[in-house]
Amino acid sequence: MTRGPAKPGTVYLVGAGPGDPDLLTLRAARLIATADVLVYDNLVAPAILDLAAAGAERIYAGKRRGNHALPQEELNLLLVELARAGKRVLRLKGGDPYTFGRGGEEVETLHDHGIPFEVVPGVTAAAGVASYTGIPLTHRDYSQACVFVTGHLKDGSMDLDWVGLARRRQTVVIYMGLHGLSTLCEKMIEHGLPPEWPAAIVQQGTTPHQRTVTGTLATLPELALAAHLKAPTLIIIGEVVKLHDKLAWFEGGARTA
Supply the residues annotated as catalytic: 41, 63
Q: Distance between CA atoms of 4 and 241, rounded to whole angstroms?
A: 42
Run of H or E residues at 216: strand 211-216
Could you give phi then psi for residue 244, rounded to 5 degrees? Answer: -55, -50
Angle value at C-alpha 232, between 122 and 69, nearest 5 degrees: 85
Where does 99-194 show beta strands of DSSP type E? 117-120, 146-150, 171-175
What is the distance between the alpha carbons of residues 242 and 9, in angstroms, rounded to a whole number? 49
| DSSP assignment of 9-73 | TEEEEEE-BSS-GGGS-HHHHHHHHH-SEEEE-TTS-HHHHTTS-TT-EEEE--EETTEESS-HH
Distance, CA of 74 to chain centre: 22
**8 A C-beta contact, residue 138 and residue 164:** no
Q: Are 77 and 109 in contact (CB under 8 A)?
A: yes
What's the burial of 139, exposed, middle or buried (CB within 10 Å: 0-12/13-18/19+)?
middle
